[in-house]
């Protein structure tokens, strides 16, 4: 073969190899990680907290569609659907499951996989609830944030007493199927007895039961109502608030979302902040962190929110001393 032909053959082979390099490079690019988002709530009423979760992901360096995907699974308050939804995410082989909207989602995710990392947001104590052995060393494949709502029952009753100092009977609305709300009942009952309240418990875990319970509460004519923290009540907060306001008595809610939707008063942790932190943890796990090395986080502040517009509509006078203590007053 002449030198000229050898040179042509070399150029042809070199050109062919160069044409293959981009294809090979693309083949070696890792697929975008998929984050499983398992929530007991509904997308319609979760826009603000979903945005907070995305903010946390962005802080950790991940943006959906750019370097990560999010696979959403919403139970819409139907807790019995959570195991099936969790199984779908495991079958999809997501990189991490963010179990949000209460303990039912976290328990369903943990029961479905012992290997895929899980980040939770729950309202109860995750240690006594059996999710993790300790806050600082959660161990296994699970960690997250707790709103620590159950321990706030006494404080919420104290605020109700400040709002209605002559109250004698307080009705308590609880979802008996919820791992978040049930632990709060004992705390509320013991605190209520210590304050001299007569405590009456009403259960609701479906829309029909919610209507029945609030009808029974209206017939009881209590001096005040306390709604125990639970995702089911969050999902149906507009329906709940509409029915509760008909009682025309002071009603204490567990989170700001209730007061923002027309509820009278709320006291609890900032839920969007917990979702943002869940996004940060999910991003850290995508970068290689292990859930066992990420301590369970607790809220550092609880917010008192008063809807003065609702108070005026219901003819309820809010003491100036209580207004002065509020973190936010809605007018």
All structural domains of the chain with their residue ranges = 34-148+270-293, 150-268+303-330
Percentage of the residues of the chain whose pLDDT score is greater than 70: 90
Give strand ranges (E) for the chain.
34-39, 69-74, 96-100, 118-122, 142-146, 169-174, 198-203, 224-227, 251-253, 265-268, 303-307, 328-330
Q: What pLDDT score does 149 carry? A: 66
- Report which of 78, 12, 25 is spatially closest to residue 231, judged by C-alpha positions: 78
Domains 34-148+270-293 and 150-268+303-330 share a fold: yes
Cα–Cα distance between 64 and 47 in angstroms, integer? 15
Q: Name, in order, each residue with C-beta under 8 angstroms of 307's C-beta and a sequence gap of 6 or more.
A: 259, 260, 262, 263, 264, 265, 330
The fold for domain 34-148+270-293 equals Rossmann fold (3.40.50)
Cα–Cα distance between 129 and 139 in angstroms, integer? 15
- Report which of 52, 55, 48, 91 is spatially closest to residue 73, judged by C-alpha positions: 91
pLDDT in tens, 50-97: 999 999 999 999 999 999 999 999 999 889 999 999 999 999 999 999
Q: How would residue 30 be classed by pLDDT, with cut points 50, 70 and 90?
A: low
Average pLDDT, the chain: 90
| Pairwise pLDDT comparison (53 vs 7), residue with the higher score | 53
Phi, psi (degrees; rounded to nearest 5) at 124? -110, 180
Q: What pLDDT score does 23 carry? A: 44
pLDDT in tens, 100-148: 998 999 999 999 999 999 999 999 899 988 999 999 999 999 999 999 8
Q: What pLDDT score does 150 carry? A: 61
Q: What pLDDT score does 10 carry? A: 45
pTM of the model: 0.87
Contact present, 83 and 91 (Cβ < 8 Å)? no
Mean pLDDT over 276-288 rounds to 98
pLDDT in tens, 284-331: 999 999 999 999 999 988 999 999 999 999 999 999 999 999 999 999
Please determine, for residue 4, whether its predicted confidence score (pLDDT) is greater than 60: no
Distances (CA, A) of 102 to 147, 154, 163, 230, 292: 9, 21, 29, 7, 20
pLDDT in tens, 150-191: 678 889 999 999 999 999 999 999 999 888 877 788 888 888
Q: What pLDDT score does 31 carry? A: 82
- Report which of 158, 36, 47 is spatially closest to residue 92, judged by C-alpha positions: 36
Q: How would residue 26 be classed by pLDDT, with cut points 50, 70 and 90?
A: very low
CATH H-level, domain 150-268+303-330: superfamily: Response regulator (3.40.50.2300)
């Amino acid at each position: 073969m002449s030198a000229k032909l050898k040179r042509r053959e070399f150029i042809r082979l070199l050109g062919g190899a160069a044409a293959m390099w981009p294809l090979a490079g693309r083949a070696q690019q890792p697929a975008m990680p998929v984050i499983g988002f398992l929530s007991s709530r509904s997308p319609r009423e979760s826009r603000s907290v979903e945005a907070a979760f995305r903010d946390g992901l962005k802080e950790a360096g991940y943006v959906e569609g750019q370097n990560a995907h999010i696979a959403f699974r919403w139970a819409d308050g139907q807790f019995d659907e959570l195991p099936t939804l969790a199984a779908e995410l495991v079958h999809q082989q997501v990189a991490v499951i963010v179990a949000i909207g209460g303990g039912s989602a976290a328990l369903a995710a943990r029961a479905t996989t012992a290997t895929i990392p899980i980040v939770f947001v729950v309202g109860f104590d995750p240690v006594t609830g059996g999710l993790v052995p300790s806050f600082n060393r959660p161990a296994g494949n699970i960690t997250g944030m707790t709103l620590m709502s159950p321990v706030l029952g006494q404080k919420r009753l104290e605020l109700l007493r400040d709002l209605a100092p002559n109250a004698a009977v307080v009705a308590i609305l609880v979802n008996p199927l919820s791992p978040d709300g049930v632990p709060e009942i004992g705390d509320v009952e013991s605190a209520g007895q210590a304050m001299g309240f007569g405590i009456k418990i009403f259960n609701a875990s479906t829309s029909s039961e919610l209507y029945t319970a609030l009808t029974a509460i209206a017939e009881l004519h209590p001096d005040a109502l306390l709604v125990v923290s639970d995702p089911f009540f969050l999902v149906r907060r507009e329906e709940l608030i509409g029915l509760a306001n008909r009682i025309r008595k002071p009603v204490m809610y567990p989170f700001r979302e209730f007061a923002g939707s027309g509820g009278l008063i709320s006291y609890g942790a900032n839920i969007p902040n917990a979702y943002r932190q869940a996004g940060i943890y999910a991003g850290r796990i995508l970068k290689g962190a292990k859930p066992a090395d990420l301590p369970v986080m607790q809220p550092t502040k609880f917010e008192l929110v008063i809807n003065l517009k609702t108070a005026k509509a219901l003819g309820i006078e809010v003491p100036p001393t209580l207004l002065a203590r509020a973190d936010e007053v809605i007018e």
